[in-house]
Amino acid sequence: MTNEMKAVDKVSVQTPGESTRECPCFVPRVDIYESAEKITLLADMPGVTKDGVSIDLKDNVLTLRGAFGSPTPAPARVLYKEYEEGDFYRQFTLSNLIDQTRITAGLKDGVLTLELPKVEKAKPRQIEIRTE
């Protein structure tokens, strides 16, 4: 891979839900791919610690939140400021049924990896009709 990386400004979240934290909130850049068994999501969340991550799946809406863990102590004088530190927030709507009990998440070097296993083929459920 010889691709030369380019700097891209972080994108602010326009409506970060109802946040009570007084700090900027950004949209994490993600990769999402799907195989036969699962959906994998990778999100760049630099500065977010394990305790700061919250993942919520409700009514097919997946909400990712990442709280910035350890802010850099403000130096006596700022010389350059090219980026801002802050939290991350993003929501996705999933089209597949996800087996909530088997979701796994990992965080390494500021990258969140989420594995969302699909529900095994919904079994046809026979509904018995009782006659009285």
Could you list the residues that contact another protein (CB under 8 A)? 1-9, 29-36, 39-40, 42, 44-49, 69-70, 72, 74-83, 107, 109-111
Least CB distance to another protein at residue 13 (A):
15
DSSP state of 60: T
Q: Which is nearer to another protein, 75 or 124 (CB)?
A: 75
Least CB distance to another protein at residue 12 (A):
11
Least CB distance to another protein at residue 121 (A):
18
Are 9 and 83 within 8 A, CB to CB? yes
Rg (the chain; Cα; Å): 20
Count CA atoms within 13 Å of residue 122 on its CB side: 6
